[in-house]
Amino acid sequence: MSEELLDLVKCCPIVDERAGKAVAQIVNGRQLGAYDKNDKTKFVGRKGTPEDAQRAREALTARSLIRASDKLPMLNRVDPDGCMSLRAIAEALNANGIPTVSGRGQWSAHSVRRLKALS
């Protein structure tokens, strides 16, 4: 077998004929990729790169900033003068049923401080 063909075989995906999709990727004799935690034969993606992780962090940050900016009008409604304590603002937001930036949990003085820092 020629070296070109051998390199091609080493970089080819292993395909599950029944499912018609890749279940693993072999590169230089090593198996790469992510697998379903319940079914180790089920390939669910490739291993992420540092660039993928950076893009994911940037996307999460942007989404979080958008959600936080949506909450700023509520903050101004609860404390229009800006004279309430952070804890009092958090209690008012919780009493009015306003969800947090993440959508889970309760407002705290610290989460109100982070929201105020954006305004």
Which residue has 């903050």 as its token pair? 75
Alpha-carbon span 109 to 31, nearest angstrom: 48
pTM of the model: 0.56
Cα–Cα–Cα angle for 106, 107, 113, rounded to 5 degrees: 155
Alpha-carbon span 30 to 42, nearest angstrom: 17
pLDDT digits (tens, 9 = 90+) for 47-97: 678 888 888 889 888 888 899 999 999 999 999 998 999 999 999 999 999
Domain ranges of the chain: 3-45, 70-118
